[in-house]
Amino acid sequence: MPNVKRLSFALALALAFSAAAEEPLPRKKREKPAAPAPAHRAGAAPQGAARPGPLAPIPPGAPLALRPSRLRPPPGSGAVVSVAAGRAYLDAGAEDGLSVGAPLTLTRAGRPAGACTVEAVTAHSATCAGEGLRVGYGFALPAPAKPSAPPPKPLPPLVAQDETEKRRAMVESAPLAKVEFKAAPEVPFLQGPEEVEARLVHESFLASSASALHEERLEARVYGAEVFPRWRLFLDASAIYRGASADGARFLPGDSALLEVRELELASREPGQALSLAVGRVLPVSAPGSTAFDGAQVGWRGPGREMGVFGGLVPDLSTTGLTTDRSTAGLYGSLERASADLLLHGDGRVAYVHAPEVGTRVEVETALHAWIARRYDVSGEARLGFGDTTAPASLDSARLDLSARLLERLWVTGGVRYVGLFVSDPGAPALFENPARHADFEAAYDLTRYLTLRGTLGYAKDLTSGQSRTYGGPEVALPHLFGGDGGVSAGWLEEGGWAGGRDLWLQLEGTLLGRLRLIGRGSLFVLHQAAPASDLVTAGLFASAAFDLASWLRLGLSGLGRLQASPQPADATLGGLSVLANVTGRY
């Protein structure tokens, strides 16, 4: 039994000092004072029995079974494998990046546990002096140094001058076969997106106090389709069928079938072309305030400028049919200048105009538009008229609009307008057809990407009756409430003056599956009335959906309804509903 106990004690010592046995390090001899013999305990050698001497180091090359094994720390780190007299024996050395004098931070379970300084190193082991050292403490190894880049390869020697001359002579004397040049086919430059659009629409108008009106409409639009070299077609027309329900219509009652042609022209206005020409039912360019006419427009163009003449018969305002009692002719011109921070564009028109509503007149109109420093957008327009019918001070109309981005998230827009000569529109008659002044202002601030605040102010005054109207109110929008698929907004508008009241609304919009666009809006309108009449309250609801069947085909459906929410006389209109369904194709 004593031999078995001695063998167990020897193996324990061998495991404790395995690192020192593998790579012996120089260390001072430690003198240990004699200690009293411990009390006899079970399993211990009896007092007076012979004690085992120190173990000899394991010789290099010994069989693997004789070497004690230990777990290696994670890559890039080392560990304390033994501690004696304030000195720790480490399982890493010079080839692991340790050097004499290097400080090490010791850790235990990932937390700081002390520090020591490297005293001596061999290839794969080292000693470290410090306080509170314990077996099992870990430390991080220095990051390995990046290998230096290999030296650049020397360049080949330069070719001798005589050899260079010889090679050049060979190239110059070599025969070259001629190749016929074939230019690539010319691709015409498009002035704008070439697009053809056709739309089939059904509309139904229902009201509690009137008969229903149903209408089918086929619309066609062509935006600059090339039909001949350097000639393009522009078309905007509608064919309308109302059937028997046309008898109850307010606009052109009794006409069951209508054909409206707002534009039908062939134009040659290619970039770089000095002569500009358009014929047909022309909607003239660079002639502000001019209506469409059946005639021609001819212009001469240069860099940043154009001037020319136009003239023809003006179609009927209601039916767009051919007439001979309306006409116009005159001169037009445009000018454009651009720099790094400014783009300025101006158009002008001087024209003879004849129409039953105003008689014979001469009109002078100009329009200017400026974009400044990519922050400000200013535009203005004014028209003077002289002849049978004139406005006060001969000023038919004027406007000035401004929009600006004052801060990265703050936008403001505003405008003022003056109408001196009001010409009635049979399709949309106005309540007050008199000279008037208008002003409006709007500001929007993006607090965040998900929250926008808006404010609106406005004023209008009829200069003949003296009636005026003011309005203003806030709006809150959460454009990305549903992520990138939609949002919600709500607002309130207070109105004062001859038509005082207030409007409130809530709107939701979004996109589903990337193809279905939905919009829903609920409104409440309150119109103040003089006593003893009570306020008129109307609720409104609007909803629309558009679905893209393909990149060129879209289905649309929308509805608008209004319902009187306040008590009304028995013969009053309680509400109405309009429904619109359409199919639109684009090419």
Contacts of residue 296, defined as CB under 8 A and 6 or more positions apart, other chains included, come to 277, 278, 279, 282, 310, 311, 312
Please write the tens of the pLDDT for every residue from 132-150. 788 888 888 887 766 677 7
Q: What is the pLDDT of residue 585?
A: 92
- In this prediction, residues 439-451 reach a mean pLDDT of 94
* Domain 16-22+68-141: CATH class, spelled out: mainly beta
Of the pLDDT bands very low, low, confident and very high (cuts 50, 70, 90), residue 449 is: confident
Please write the tens of the pLDDT for every residue from 310-327. 999 999 988 999 999 999
**Does residue 458 register a pLDDT over 60?**
yes
Percent of the chain with pLDDT over 90: 49
Rg of the chain over Cα atoms, rounded to whole angstroms, equals 47
Instruction: Write phi, then psi, for 165 (nearest 5 degrees).
Output: -65, -40
Q: What is the pLDDT of residue 22?
A: 40
Contacts 24+ apart (CB under 8 A), 229-233: 229/188, 230/268, 230/270, 230/273, 231/266, 231/267, 231/268, 232/191, 232/266, 232/267, 232/268, 232/269, 233/265, 233/266
Of the pLDDT bands very low, low, confident and very high (cuts 50, 70, 90), residue 570 is: low
82 near 135, Cβ under 8 Å? yes
CA 561 from centroid of its chain's CA atoms: 33
**Does residue 467 register a pLDDT over 70?**
yes
**Does residue 294 register a pLDDT over 50?**
yes
Please write the tens of the pLDDT for every residue from 168-212. 888 888 887 777 777 655 444 334 445 899 999 999 988 877 788
Please write the tens of the pLDDT for every residue from 58-77. 444 433 333 333 445 667 78
Percent of the chain with pLDDT over 70: 84
pTM assigned to the model? 0.64
Please write the tens of the pLDDT for every residue from 468-513. 999 999 999 999 898 878 999 999 999 999 888 999 999 999 998 8
Instruction: Write phi, then psi, for 23 (nearest 5 degrees).
Output: -125, 85
Q: What is the pLDDT of residue 76?
A: 78
Q: Give the number of C-alpha atoms closer than 13 A to the C-alpha of residue 455, restricted to the C-beta side.
A: 5
Q: State how beta strands 359-372 and 103-108 pair.
A: unpaired
**Does residue 344 register a pLDDT over 60?**
yes
482: nearest Cα among 518, 443, 446, 521: 518
Map out the domains of the chain as residue ranges: 16-22+68-141
Q: What is the pLDDT of residue 73?
A: 60
Contacts of residue 10, defined as CB under 8 A and 6 or more positions apart, other chains included, come to 52, 55
Residue that is written with structure tokens 């390090």 in the block:
25
Neighbours of 573 (CB within 10 A): 12
Q: If you average pLDDT over every residue of the chain, what do you get?
A: 83
**Does residue 539 register a pLDDT over 50?**
yes
- 27: exposed, middle or buried (Cβ count in 10 Å: 0-12, 13-18, 19+): middle
Instruction: Write phi, then psi, for 318 (nearest 5 degrees).
Output: -90, -50
Q: Give the number of C-alpha atoms closer than 13 A to the C-alpha of residue 264, restricted to the C-beta side.
A: 13
- In this prediction, residues 382-395 reach a mean pLDDT of 95
Question: CA of 570: how far to CAs of 39, 150, 206, 531, 537, in Å?
Answer: 119, 100, 18, 20, 16
For residue 503, give the amino acid letter.
D
Query: To 5 degrees, how large is the angle CA 158–CA 161–CA 164?
Result: 85
